[in-house]
Amino acid sequence: MRILLATHNPHKADELRSILGTLQSVTILTLDDLPSRPVEPVEDGATLEANAYIKAAEIFAATGIPTIADDTGLEVKALAGAPGVYSARYAGEGVTYADNCRKLIAELEHVRADDRSALFRTVICYTDGDRTLLAEGSVRGTILPKPRGAGGFGYDPLFQPEGTSRTFAEMDPAEKNAMSHRGRALAAMHEMLAPYFDERQ
């Protein structure tokens, strides 16, 4: 059995593989493993759920391989939930992680430390033509005024989860995966998929 992760992002692929890789008799592929790359869907949904489904459904239709896609949003309370569904392109199209972080720092420049609460959410969608499954994971934390740590990606250097003194970027991958929004969503999806793939062996 094969599952296709609808991503070219090596950091995201590593996180997805680290948890889904324990599924029995399943080979985990990414878009970079395909001989010809399908056209990337336009993620124009109004919600994380919609974007995850759009990506999974269109990539499955193009490849015929059971597909998993995700969408992640950082929802900052002081910014009325922004950047939310626009998190990956907060500073514009084709920007870097650093560009997005710089914009977030600037937007929160005059916000007090106790008003910097945020929620990181990931929604994962699996589809194989017969069934479509959705799983969500979230974690609360605080947005720091300056980045800390060299690991992770995206907003990880600015996000300090509740109950910790470190950002996601200061944690090793296993520690981050155990508590992160994506890790929680993947764990929930793993529970849903494991019996299904066991049946198909």
Catalytic residue ranges = 71
Residues 6+ apart with CB under 8 A from 87: 72, 73, 74, 100, 154, 155
Rounded to 10 deg, the angle between the 10-20 and 181-199 helix axes is 50
- Letter string b/e over residues 85-123, b meaning 16 or more CB atoms within 10 A of that residue's CB: bebbebbeeeeebeebbeebeebbeeeeeeebebbbbbb
Residues 6+ apart with CB under 8 A from 27: 1, 2, 3
Whole-angstrom distance, CA of residue 125 vs CA of residue 116: 29
Distances, alpha carbon 198 to alpha carbons 112, 173, 192, in Å: 50, 27, 11
Distance in Å from the first CA to the final CA of the chain: 8
Whole-angstrom distance, CA of residue 143 vs CA of residue 115: 9
